[in-house]
Amino acid sequence: MAKVVKKQELKILRYEDGQLLPVEHRPVQEFPVKLVVNGRELATLIGSPHELRFLVAGFLRLQGFVKSLDDFLALSICEDVGVASVQLRGEVPETLRPVLTTGCGSGITFALPVPPAEPSGGEGQRFIPAAVFALMDELARRAGRYRSHGGIHSAAVGDGVSLILYAEDLGRHNTLDRIAGEALLRGIDLAGKLLVTSGRVSSEMAAKAASLGISLIASRTSPTDVAARLCEAAGITLLGYVRGGRFNVYVHPDRLDLTSVRASAECRVP
């Protein structure tokens, strides 16, 4: 009979004023899930343990294995052993080349998708800066796991008026996989929408957002140079350091509607 090893409760100490004191704190949970598709083990996803169906569905969607719900024959997750079993209508390619990414969490992709030759999705959509700040503020309000544990990333999608989808995970691009998966399972079109994220916008984040038709990406931190070039090619407005009523615009400032801001400034002129 296999011996069951109980998890030891960590005794965490905090250094303060020259001494170590016990503190009430639980580290963020890291949960590996072996992904088996059509009987073939593809990868092990490492993320947070909640709503794993969204993570799995979104990962498969953004890797190009599925495009709609009809592509799924079955999706089951056994959390006891950490296995996600998926049956798809299509065949899994025989040769897959994993690419290590800069992202925390899963940190792997089978192909970095390239932006479409012609930008698609919400080409005429424009956003006022107030909508960006409002969605970023809502993202911060909902990030309860960060406040209680630390180390959790969050992301949200909105339409410029209200928040549509929200996700948290220890991996920043896992949050985008979760949003993609939930949107797929619930039939929500993400084309032309605004994406805000707590983490850095890297090339894989930009490529995934482009494949979903996102029109604007905003981050509390910085994008990479490759992410900026991908967004430029995909027609995505890219904002960084969104905080304190300010942000940097890296590409496509034309998607920002500054009319109301200018009008307000003119009204204040004596």
- CATH number, domain of 214, equals 3.40.140.10
**DSSP 8-state code for residue 92:** P
Is residue 178 assigned to a domain?
A: yes
Over the stretch 180-198, which tens digit does the pLDDT of each residue have? 999 999 999 999 999 999 9
Q: What pTM, to 2 d.p., does this model score? A: 0.82
- pLDDT recorded at residue 114: 57
Q: Would you say residue 157 lies in a domain?
A: yes
Could you tell me if 178 and 70 lie in one domain? no
153 and 228 together in one domain: yes
What CA–CA distance (Å, rounded) separates 186 from 51?
14
Task: Provide the pLDDT confidence category of residue 5 given band limits of 50, 70 and 90.
Answer: very low
What is the predicted pLDDT for the residue at 42?
86
268 has a pLDDT exceeding 70: no
- Whether 232 and 142 map to the same domain: the answer is yes
Let me know if 104 is a catalytic residue.
yes
Q: By percentage, how much of the chain surpasses pLDDT 70?
A: 77
- Lowest pLDDT segment from 20-29, 102-111, 157-166, 257-266: 102-111
- First-last CA distance in the chain: 84
Residues in the chain, total? 270
Q: Is 263 a residue whose pLDDT tops 90?
A: no
- Distance from the Cα of residue 34 to its chain's centroid: 20
Domain span including residue 105: 31-109
Pair 84, 135 in one domain: no
Confidence of residue 55 (pLDDT cuts 50, 70, 90): very high
Tell me: the pLDDT tens digits for 205-248?
999 999 999 999 999 998 999 899 999 999 999 999 999 889 99
Same domain membership, residue 133 and residue 255: yes
- Whether residue 269 lies inside any domain: the answer is no
**In this predicted model, what pLDDT tens digit does every residue of 89-140 receive, in sequence order?**
988 877 665 554 545 544 566 655 555 545 545 556 789 999 999 999 999 9
Q: Is the pLDDT of residue 142 over 70?
A: yes
Instruction: Assess if residue 134 is contained within a domain.
Output: yes
Could you tell me if residue 54 is inside a domain? yes
The pLDDT value recorded for residue 119 is 52
The answer to whether position 120 is within a domain reads: no
78-81: Cβ within 8 A, 24+ apart: 79/49, 79/52
How much is the average pLDDT of 12-26? 73
**189 shares its domain with 220:** yes
pLDDT of residue 197: 95
Q: What's the half-sphere exposure (Cβ side, CA atoms, 13 Å) at 96?
A: 19
Stretch (H or E) spanning 71: none
Mean residue pLDDT of the chain comes to 82
On whether both 133 and 227 belong to a single domain, the answer is: yes
- If DSSP codes are grouped into helix, strand and coil, which group holds residue 229? helix
Over residues 165-170, mean pLDDT: 92
Of 78, 104, 231, 267, the active-site residue reads: 104
Region 34-59 average pLDDT = 90
Q: Between the CA of residue 96 and those of 64, 99, 109, 173, 207, what are the distances in Å?
A: 12, 10, 10, 20, 18
